[in-house]
Structure 1
Amino acid sequence: MAVTLDSVYLDHAAGSTLRPAAAATLVEALAAVGNPSSVHRHGQAARAMLEEARERLAVAAGCDSVEVLFTSGGTEAVNLAVTGAWRAGDGDALLLPGGEHAATVESAEALERDGARIVHLPVDSDARLESAVLADALAAEPDAALVTVLAANNEVGSINDIAALASVARAASVPIHVDAIAAFGAVPTRFDVSGADLMSISSVKIGGPAGVGALLAGRGARVAPLLHGGGQERGLRSGTPSAPLALAFAVAAEEAVGSLADESRRVAHLRDRALAGLLAALPGAVLRGVPPGTGRLPGNLHVTVAGADGESLLFLLDAAGVSVSTGSACLAGVTRVSPVLLAMGVPIEAAGGALRITFGHSSTEADVDALLAALPALAPALAHRPFAH
C-alpha cells in the first residue's frame, strides 16, 4: 500500500526512518561481492568492510571492536545475551524486572523449560528498577545466573540508573545484561562506563537499516552460542554477517551519537509541544513514565486516555494521516493490555487506553502541527466506553 507524502510518521520507537548517510552507504556497499570468511581477494574486501563497520560501531558504542558481535537485529541480540549467558552461567536463577521487552520475557519463559527459575522483580510506578530492590533479590538468590534489565523502557520512556544496577550486580558477582535498544543513540549510552557485561543495541531504532543489530559482549562475558556452524563472531554467532548492513549500521550510529546532545534537545521540544496539545485536547489523558527531563527518553510520549480504547485512537489517527502506536511493535497483531503498564500498577481499565507517540531524527515541527490538527478526529473514541477485557 502506498503511503501518501502528507502522512506523518510518529512511531520512531518501533523503527526510525533511514538516515540518508546510512542509505547511501548501504547502496554503495551492496555492490560489493564476497563472503567475509573467504580467503580470496573478494572475500578479504568483504572482511575489510565488516571490520571497518565493527571498529566504527565500537567507537560510537564505547567499547573495543572485539566486543562487537553482529546479529540479525535487536531481538537476536537479546536472545543471545539472555539465553546464552544463562546457559553458560553457574546458577539457575534469572532475575527479570517487570515491564521488560517481549524478546527478554519470552527468552526467559523458554528457559524455564530448561530448568531456569525466573525471579520476578517489581518496578516502581514509572517502570524503573530500583537498585535496592535488585540488591535484596540478589542477597536472597545465591544461585543467580544473570540479571537482565532495560536501559530505558521502550514503551513509557523511563530511564534506569544502569551504573547503579550494574554496581549491585557486580558486588554480587552476577553478570548483568542491559537491553539498550531504546536508549542507544537517544541518550548517552556507553558500554565501557555502564558496568554491564552484555549490552544489546539495534540499527533500525537509530535510523540504520533493519536486519542488523549487535550484542556488545565484554571480554570476560560467558555466553553459550545459540547458532552453530562456521564459528563467526568470536564463535558466539555462527552465520555469514552482512558487511553492507553492518557498515550502514555503523554510519547511523556515528551520526546519532555525534549529534546526540543537540538532537535530544530538539526532539524533546517537539515531544513537549505534542504533550501539551494532547493533555489539552484529550479529556482524561495521563502521561505515563517519568516526567519530561533527564529521566525520560527525549522522543517518548506515552499517555493513557481514560475511557478510550488505544487501538481505536490509533486507527482514527492513522485515518487522519498520523502513524503512532499503542505500545511495543513486537506485539503487533496481539490485542492485549500492555504488560509494562500493568507492571507499573496502572489499572487495567486505564491501561486499555494507551497511546505511544515517538519522535526521531526526521521529525519536524510540521509533524507536531499535523498531530495536533488530527486530535479532533479522536472524538468518536472518547465516549468513555468501558474497556472490554
Structure 2
Amino acid sequence: MDPIYFDHAATTPMRAEVVEAMLPYFTEKFGNPSSLHAFGREARTALGRSRDRLAGLIGCEPGELLFTGGGTESDNTALFGAAAQYGAVKKHIITTEIEHHAVLHACRQLEHSGYDVTYLPVDSAGRVHPEQLEEAVREDTFLVSVMHGNNEVGTVQPIEAIGQWTRARGILFHVDAVQSLGLLPVDLARLPVDMMSFSAHKIYGPKGVGALYVSKRIAIVPHLVGGSQERKRRAGTENVSGIIGFVRAAELAVSEQERNRLHVQSLRDRMIEALNRTVGPSAFTVNGHPTDVLPHILNVSFPGVDTETMLMSLDLEGIAAASGSACTSGSLELSHVLRAMKLPEDVMRSAIRFSFGFSQNIEQIDTATEKVATILRRLRKT
C-alpha cells in the first residue's frame, strides 16, 4: 500500500506550480532587494508585485502587509509589536486557552514583562463565547488575540462578532488565520480585524515564510531590528524566493477555494461515515464543533486506545496522522486544547487528528478507515 498522509494541518507538500514560480529566484534572479543595482531592482520589483498580488487576494492595501519567516513570527510580531507600541499605559491582553503556542508562549513572556493576560475558557466544542470577552475586558485592555480556526480540533471562532465588539471599544484585535487561509473567506476590507497572521506551508507553499497584516489604522514596534526592510517593521533580507512561492500558493488556494473546501469536507464526512460503519458509533467520538469547523480537520478519539499507541500503529501501516499533544522526552503530553474543552480523560488520552488535502481521494479514506478498524480490534483484544 502506498503511504497515506493525513497531516496537512501540520504541513502540506508544495505544488508543482509553486516550485516552478520559485526556481528562477534561486538562480538567475538571485539579487538582494535592498541592492541598488539591476539585480537588486529585479528582486525588489518581484517583491513589490508579490505584495500587491497578496494584498488583492485578502482585501487589504499592499502597505499593510509585511512578510515574515512564518506563522510563529507573524504571531510574535503582532503581540510583541502591539505591546511595545501600546503597553506604556495599558497592560492587559485577552486571548483564549486554545491558541497556538506561538500566541500562548508569547503571552507568557509578556506576563514576565509586567503585562496581565486573561485566558478565556472555551466550551466543550472548543468555542469562545463573546459574552465572556465582554466580562473579561478592563479599562487597560489594549489587545485581544483569537484564532480563526483551531489547528487541533478545527473549531471556527466568531471572529467577526468579536472584531465588531473590540473595534467599537478601541481595542486592537489580532487573529491567527494560519489554518483558515484558502479554506475560509478572508476579506480584510470587510472583517473588523487589526492584525492577521498567515503561513505559506499550510497552503502548499514553502516552509519558512509567512505574512502579517497590520491595518494602516494602527502602528506596531518592530520585533526584529537591524535594517529598514518591510517599511522598517521587520528587519532582515526578504526571502524573495519564498515570498514568490507563498503568493503563488495563495493565488491557487484562493482561486480554487470553494472546490477544495468541498472536496476536503467530503473526505472528512466520508471518514466519519466509514468509522460509523466499520467500528460503530460507540467506539469513537468526534471532538470539536459539529458545524462551525474547518473542513480539512477531523479530531476523533477512540476511548480505550491511547493516542501514542494508535499513532505508532497507523505509522506501521503507512498512515501518517497526528495528535495535537506536545512531545516531551519521547512521550506525549495531553493537548492543552482538549484540556481547555474539559473533555473526559479517556477521550483526551485517545485523540487523533486526521487532516486532509485536496489531492486525496475517497479510496484513501476507505483504506485508512479499514486499517483503523483492524488496529482497534487488535488492540482492544490485548
- Please state which band the TM-score falls in when normalised by the shorter chain: over 0.9
1:375 aligns with 372
Q: Aligned to 1:303, what secondary structure does the other structure show?
A: strand
TM-score scaled by length of structure 2: 0.94
Deviation at 1:85, TM superposition (A): 1.0
Q: 5 Å matches for 1:210-229? A: 210-229=207-226
Q: 5 Å matches for 1:123-162? A: 123-138=122-137, 141-162=138-159
Runs of 5+ unmatched residues, structure 2: none
CA offsets per residue over residues 227-249 of structure 1, 9 Å max, x none? 11112112111000111110110
Distance 2:74 2:204 in 1: 18
Distance 2:379 2:185 in 1: 38
TM-score scaled by length of structure 1: 0.92
CA offsets per residue over residues 79-126 of structure 1, 9 Å max, x none? 101111122114111101111111110010011111011112111221
1:118 aligns with 117
Structure 1 residues 172 and 333: alpha-carbon distance in aligned structure 2, compared to 1, 3 A threshold: farther
2:93 aligns with 94
Is residue 106 of structure 1 aligned with residue 105 of structure 2? yes
Q: 5 Å matches for 1:1-389? A: 6-31=2-27, 32-90=29-87, 91-138=90-137, 141-282=138-279, 284-291=283-290, 293=291, 295-327=292-324, 335-379=332-376, 382-383=379-380
Q: Which amino acid aligns with 2:210?
A: G
Structure 1 residues 296 and 331: alpha-carbon distance in aligned structure 2, compared to 1, 3 A threshold: farther
Q: What is the alpha-carbon root mean square deviation over aligned residues?
A: 1.9
Check the 8 A contact 1:151/1:180 in 2, yes or no. Answer: yes
CA offsets per residue over residues 193-230 of structure 1, 9 Å max, x none? 22110000110001111110000111122211111111
Distance 2:57 2:111 in 1: 35
Q: Which amino acid aligns with 1:211?
A: G
CA offsets per residue over residues 130-187 of structure 1, 9 Å max, x none? 111112212xx11112100010111111111111000111122110100000111111
Q: Which amino acid aligns with 2:130?
A: S
CA offsets per residue over residues 6-41 of structure 1, 9 Å max, x none? 111110000112112111111233221211011101
Q: Which amino acid aligns with 1:267?
A: V
Check the 8 A contact 1:307/1:384 in 2, yes or no. Answer: no
Distance 1:276 1:179 in 2: 31
Structure 1 residues 232 and 61: alpha-carbon distance in aligned structure 2, compared to 1, 3 A threshold: same
Structure 1 residues 281 and 86: alpha-carbon distance in aligned structure 2, compared to 1, 3 A threshold: farther
Q: Which amino acid aligns with 1:356?
A: R
Q: Which amino acid aligns with 2:21?
A: T
Percentage of pairs with the same residue: 36
Check the 8 A contact 1:312/1:381 in 2, yes or no. Answer: no
Mean CA deviation greater in 358-367 or 67-76 = 358-367
Q: Aligned to 1:357, what secondary structure does the other structure show?
A: strand
Q: Which amino acid aligns with 1:289?
A: G
Check the 8 A contact 1:209/1:248 in 2, yes or no. Answer: yes
Structure 1 residues 59 and 328: alpha-carbon distance in aligned structure 2, compared to 1, 3 A threshold: farther
Distance 2:248 2:361 in 1: 22
Q: Which amino acid aligns with 1:183?
A: S
Runs of 5+ unmatched residues, structure 1: none
Check the 8 A contact 2:327/2:333 in 1, yes or no. Answer: no
Distance 1:262 1:330 in 2: 35
Check the 8 A contact 1:300/1:359 in 2, yes or no. Answer: yes
Q: Aligned to 1:33, what secondary structure does the other structure show?
A: coil
Structure 1 residues 69 and 82: alpha-carbon distance in aligned structure 2, compared to 1, 3 A threshold: same
Q: Aligned to 1:221, what secondary structure does the other structure show?
A: coil
Q: Which amino acid aligns with 1:104?
A: V
Deviation at 1:348, TM superposition (A): 2.8
Deviation at 1:330, TM superposition (A): 9.1
Q: Aligned to 1:186, what secondary structure does the other structure show?
A: coil
Deviation at 1:334, TM superposition (A): 6.0
Distance 1:374 1:83 in 2: 45
Mean CA deviation greater in 83-92 or 97-106 = 83-92
Q: Which amino acid aligns with 1:69?
A: L
Structure 1 residues 129 and 367: alpha-carbon distance in aligned structure 2, compared to 1, 3 A threshold: same
Distance 1:41 1:328 in 2: 49
Check the 8 A contact 1:186/1:260 in 2, yes or no. Answer: yes
Distance 2:328 2:92 in 1: 26
Aligned residue pair count: 377
